[in-house]
Chain A
Amino acid sequence: MDRKSLFPSLVAGFGAAVLTTVPGIKNFACCLLVPLAAVTALFLDHKLNKTRLPITLKSALFFGFFTALFATVFSTFFDVLITFITHTNDFIQALPQTESMVKQYHLDALLEQTMELLKQMARDIQSTGFSPLYTFGIFFSNFIINSIFGLMGGILGMTFLNRRTQI
């Protein structure tokens, strides 16, 4: 693993993060953005670093994972930055609706604690624009989800580039 082989993933991951953050653009590619970024990373690597074909599953997964990782880092950063500036986000907007619905029910201890944690996050964001728990939460969830989709994108990219997949 060297800098040259990470560069395509960095570029594609950054691109995916920008596209997921900009409102409206997500409507076009939806859940295909990260997989498409992984495919793009494989293409870029093939063009820039003259990678030999056929691409192996190992390198396809490598590019898929690192593209997802970079997409996660950048998209989390953009999300945190926008939240810091605006002091609000989708989560804050969805919480009052949840609170009003929850009032009708008797919650057990675990759900009560979960609700309290969510409220704490909302209070932090509304007062300072930043919540460490929220940041960790979105980084973790973005990482898991993007990794899955990135790995799938890597496998699809491998199929594309190898043309005949012998499957």
Chain B
Amino acid sequence: MHLFFKKAAVLKTSLRSIFFILILLWCIGFSFNAIFPGSTFGIVTFPILKRIYGTVCHQRIEKTFFLDGSRLLVCARCTGIYTGALIFSLLSIFFFKRLSFGIKLLYAAMLPIFFDVVFTTLGIYPYTKIIAFITGLFFGSVVFLYILAAIENNFVDQKTNQYGS
């Protein structure tokens, strides 16, 4: 029984570590020119990376963060989403033994983004990168935990149940 729990814990830690590395690589990709300013690799690959990240983001300059004069390749909201996922993927390696939440949290995470998009579009208040980033941060972290929990619940636990039985 002890071995069974140990195996599950090892599998979960491995999975969470893989997620963290993948998300980290993704984040380095969209901020490469900002992290390594003046890098020739970054300059040459800029059109390619811009096109790749353009698949998942509108990349409008007025909605994008600049770090040290170099623009990130995704908008403030997307930066928030990926940063949230990155932070929680790191935290999940050390904390959150077993994830358990209802569907309401997911709705709650969506609402700030929804209202921010609606209100800025209707002109109730002006668009700010900080608000977009924070709403994205909250959403990204919650979505990451949901996806991780769904995978662990359906894959890791089933796998370890097989070992256990």
Contact = CB atoms under 8 A, between A and B. Distances in A.
B90 interface: no
A111 interface: yes
Contact of B56 (A107, A145, A160): A145
Interface string A53-65: 0001100000000
A155 B106 CA distance: 13
A16 to B, nearest CB: 11
Given A102-B40, A102-B44, A115-B44, A165 B77 contact: no
A158 B155 CA distance: 14
B147 A101 contact: no
A156 B143 contact: yes
B153 A152 contact: no
B165 interface: no
Interface residues of B, number: 40
A118 B54 CA distance: 17
Contact of A167 (B48, B51, B52, B153): B153
Contact of B51 (A90, A149, A158): A90
B101 interface: yes
Nearest to B55: A145
Contacts of B56: 30-31, 33-34, 145, 149
A67 B107 CA distance: 23
24 contacts: A27-B58, A28-B121, A31-B78, A33-B56, A57-B150, A57-B155, A90-B54, A107-B40, A111-B40, A111-B41, A114-B44, A115-B44, A141-B48, A141-B52, A155-B150, A156-B106, A159-B103, A159-B106, A159-B150, A165-B102, A165-B146, A167-B99, A167-B101, A167-B146
